[in-house]
Structure 1
Amino acid sequence: MTSNPLNSTQPPAGNDRGEGAGARSPTFSPLYQQIKAFITQGLETGEWKPGELIPSEVELAARYKVSQGTVRKAIDELAAENLLVRRQGKGTFVATHNEDRVQFRFLRLLPDDGGSLVHDSRLVECRRLRAPAEIARQLELKPADPAVLIRRVMEFEKTPIVLDEIWLPGAMFKGLTLERLAGYAGPLYAMFETEFGTRMIRASEKIRAVAADPPVAELLQVEPGFPLLSVDRVSYTYGDRPVEVRRGWYVTTQYFYQNDLS
């Protein structure tokens, strides 16, 4: 049997209803989902890098020995998940965090007046240290493993609105310093993607109302006890591996936090 370029096992023969793919079982998945997994594996291994054009649907169909419609359905799902981007007349590209539609997936704050969301980031610190036990657990680190802590303030119209405390696995982000962060002009996740090969795929968040403690209040230029929105996030890369723990404190006097449910 001819070896599949992404995996030693060929996609099971059959159609999207499972015909020809063996008896239906609890582990059965539609054929397009299997093709989606093969394409995702190519993204994860770096066969197609962020911003690059992937093969056409016809080429992928020939590669995996399935119909073009099956490939299209797999790509449709990957595009809906912001892993791929279709460009009319040009083809399908690997999404990057430099694109507005992708970077704003993770920044859900919107102004009450519906205006544009233009902001500046002010770095407070970036240092390597041993992560607290809860952070280490969330990042699946061993007790002695190093972590990187970043703290920054995001300003909207020159007013501090968000304070982020970001924890990253030290082994994955070697060489990340305050100077390196300050010298990068794009979004933070774009830097993680292009310079450290770590792409944020999805995130899980917990949100609650809190009162600003004195250190947070000072950085956000509000009074201690001021009501804030606290957003605790764990971000994951391919393979559902946690690669970021972030806590954000949000001033929502003139902003709201939007989350779309489906």
Structure 2
Amino acid sequence: MAVHQPSSTEPASDAAGPATPAFSPLYQQIKGLILQSLQAGEWKPGEAIPSEMDLAARFRVSQGTVRKAIDELAAENLVVRRQGKGTFVATHAEQHVRYRFLKLVPDSGDEGPAQRTILECRRGRASAEIARALALRTSDPVVQVRRVLSFGGVPTILEDIWLPGNAFKGLTAEQLASHQGPTYVLFEVEFGVRMVRAEEKIRAVAADAQHARLLAVDAGAPLLSVERLSHTYNDVPMELRRGLYRTDTHHYRNDLS
């Protein structure tokens, strides 16, 4: 393994001295190697990763170094520690994070899961704009999805989604419509892609005629425009999503800490 170690005569440990510009701290190197294994699919979402002792032996470092690396991965919601059971690859199927990227919540009550209407799911070629966002080349294959999410029978979110075509080969409208639970779980289970981080741009817009028809609002009605770029491990962009949200009965909620 390409892990920098202090010398061949003393064990790798956190006593290696202060970091220099040439090297990252040892635990960060171990974190990077674990991330490589996650990205390569060595351990799938929901599966246990090896114990700290096994990882320490594998990378020839101390358990304390491995523990510090896993502490950071857990803080970033990439792995989950379970008392007495071990450490597991985090998944969007976990109840407490099932919809952690969906911040639109009802003003009152619990409306249950969204009803999905898939308007379009097709393969195409990436425009320069989409290619730039997804770190592709112009004209690389992409999957484009348009759907409406309804709550209580009321169309509430209109989404356009772009995905790298090679990573999501075979994705169909039927899969998207029939899958129960978060779409990100479908991506994990069927395509081995886990979204671990997202960044959003939010602005207020007025509904044009087409958007008004699909969301059952008047033309010119206020909508919330949310553009989300989601990444998998090692900050690889894997999804561009542009949503228009009705906020007459919902609001956008973000917990800051």
- TM-score exceeds 0.5: yes
User: Aligned pair in 2 of structure 1 residues 24, 176: CA closer, same or farther (>3 Å)?
Assistant: closer
Find out whether 1:135 has 2:155 as its counterpart. Answer: no
Residues matched between the structures, number? 252
Find out whether 1:48 has 2:43 as its counterpart. Answer: yes
- Give the unaligned 5+ runs of structure 2: 7-11
CA distance in 2, matches of 1:27, 1:157: 56
What TM-score do the two structures reach when normalised by structure 1? 0.87
* RMSD, aligned CA: 2.0
Q: Which residue of 1 aligns with 2:173?
A: 178
What TM-score do the two structures reach when normalised by structure 2? 0.89
Q: Which residue of 2 aligns with 1:98?
A: 93
- Cα deviation digits, residues 61-98 of structure 1 (max 9, x gap): 23223332322221121112121111222111111222
Higher relative contact order (CA 8 A, sep 6+): 2
User: Aligned pair in 2 of structure 1 residues 108, 18: CA closer, same or farther (>3 Å)?
Assistant: farther
Match of 1:259 among 245, 251, 254: 254
Mean alpha-carbon deviation: is it higher for 53-62 or for 246-255? 53-62
Find out whether 1:199 has 2:213 as its counterpart. Answer: no
* Pairing 1:70-89 to 2, within 5 Å after superposition: 70-89=65-84
After TM superposition, the runs of 4+ consecutive aligned structure 1 residues lying more than 6 A away are none
CA distance in 2, matches of 1:39, 1:67: 15
CA distance in 2, matches of 1:133, 1:10: 38
Letter of the aligned partner of 2:98 in structure 1?
Answer: Q
Q: Which residue of 1 aligns with 2:14?
A: 16
The question of whether the paired residues in 2 share the 8 Å contact of 1:56 and 1:92 is answered with yes
Mean alpha-carbon deviation: is it higher for 96-105 or for 191-200? 96-105
1:147 match: secondary structure: strand
User: Aligned pair in 2 of structure 1 residues 29, 156: CA closer, same or farther (>3 Å)?
Assistant: same
Find out whether 1:249 has 2:244 as its counterpart. Answer: yes
Q: Which residue of 1 aligns with 2:60?
A: 65
CA distance in 2, matches of 1:29, 1:10: 10
User: Aligned pair in 2 of structure 1 residues 260, 132: CA closer, same or farther (>3 Å)?
Assistant: same
User: Aligned pair in 2 of structure 1 residues 189, 125: CA closer, same or farther (>3 Å)?
Assistant: same
CA distance in 2, matches of 1:52, 1:152: 31
User: Aligned pair in 2 of structure 1 residues 36, 114: CA closer, same or farther (>3 Å)?
Assistant: farther
Percentage of pairs with the same residue: 60
Find out whether 1:124 has 2:119 as its counterpart. Answer: yes
